[in-house]
């Protein structure tokens, strides 16, 4: 059987992606998740709190929260109003408290009191989508089954021309096709850091960007 060879366009795209990965790794060595946590459960709760909220704010709320609620059972049994009060400053606190309590009940009843280590099981938990599941799997378990696609990764990948999509799952598929699986975890973290520090939404620092000479700056009006 004849083996299909990649097109010149595909080879160029992979070389371009490899250059991006190499430079981001050099510029953000050891980049990791910005959420503070000590256990997979703490990271799971933190990812739920991070929806429509900055990691900085979550990290301010987390210490007292994690001191009060140490196990899935603690969250599951906590009165709704009590948990709402503890996380109020993260915004959308009613739905977040509801999701945390329900997710922890599921962990207790369906996963033997352990945060599951698979994508299918994680996205089945209330309040956990694919992005959050990738954060938990990659950061807490070192399992790279996908790439975290948040607002920063979306912006960076579109400006670099790595994708033309806006839907996170379609963006993730495009990135997974360009980068080897061994890079997925670290690449996601590096792209998040790059979006925060250099490739900002309103005023990207293109002059200080390690990718400035190769980036097509798609959609960038003022740099």
Map out the domains of the chain as residue ranges: 9-32+147-208, 40-140
User: Among the options 25, 74, 98, 150, which is catalytic?
Assistant: 150
Q: What confidence tens digit (pLDDT) does each residue in 133-154 have?
A: 999 999 999 999 999 999 999 9
Residues 6+ positions from 125 with CB-CB distance below 8 Å: 44, 102, 103, 106, 107, 116
User: Among the options 96, 131, 174, 186, which is catalytic?
Assistant: 131
The CATH-assigned architecture of domain 40-140 is: Orthogonal Bundle (1.10)
Q: What confidence tens digit (pLDDT) does each residue in 39-57 have?
A: 999 999 999 999 999 999 9
Fold of 9-32+147-208: Endonuclease Iii, domain 2 (1.10.1670)
Q: Which two tokens stand for residue 127?
A: 């309040």
Please give the pLDDT value at position 4: 55
pTM above 0.85, yes or no: yes
Q: How many CB atoms lie within 10 A of CB 12?
A: 11
Q: Using alpha carbons only, what angle is made at residue 210 by residues 218 and 156, rounded to the nearest 5 degrees?
A: 35
pLDDT band of residue 5 (cuts 50, 70, 90) is: low
Residues 6+ positions from 198 with CB-CB distance below 8 Å: 204, 205, 208, 209, 210
Report how far residue 122's alpha carbon sits from residue 115's, in angstroms, rounded to the nearest whole number: 8
Known active-site residue 96: no
Known active-site residue 221: no
Whether the per-residue pLDDT at 176 is higher than 90: the answer is yes
């Amino acid at each position: 059987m004849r083996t299909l060879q990649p097109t010149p366009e595909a080879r160029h795209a992979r070389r371009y992606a490899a250059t991006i990965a190499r430079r981001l790794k050099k510029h953000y060595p050891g980049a990791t998740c910005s959420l503070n946590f000590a256990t997979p459960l703490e990271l799971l709760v933190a990812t739920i709190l991070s929806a429509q909220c900055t990691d900085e704010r979550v990290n301010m709320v987390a210490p007292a929260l994690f001191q009060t609620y140490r196990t899935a059972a603690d969250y599951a049994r906590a009165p709704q109003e009590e948990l709402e009060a503890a996380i109020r400053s993260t915004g959308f606190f009613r739905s977040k408290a509801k999701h945390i309590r329900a997710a922890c009940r599921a962990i207790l009843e369906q996963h033997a009191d352990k945060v599951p280590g698979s994508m299918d099981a994680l996205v089945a938990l209330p309040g956990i989508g694919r992005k959050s599941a990738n954060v938990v799997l990659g950061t807490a378990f070192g399992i790279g089954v996908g790439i975290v696609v948040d607002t920063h990764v979306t912006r960076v990948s579109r400006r670099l021309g790595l994708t033309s999509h806006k839907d996170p799952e379609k963006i993730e598929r495009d990135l997974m096709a360009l980068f080897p699986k061994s890079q997925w975890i670290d690449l996601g973290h590096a792209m998040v850091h790059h979006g925060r520090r250099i490739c900002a939404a309103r005023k990207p620092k293109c002059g200080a960007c390690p990718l400035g000479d190769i980036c097509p700056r798609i959609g960038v009006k003022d740099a």
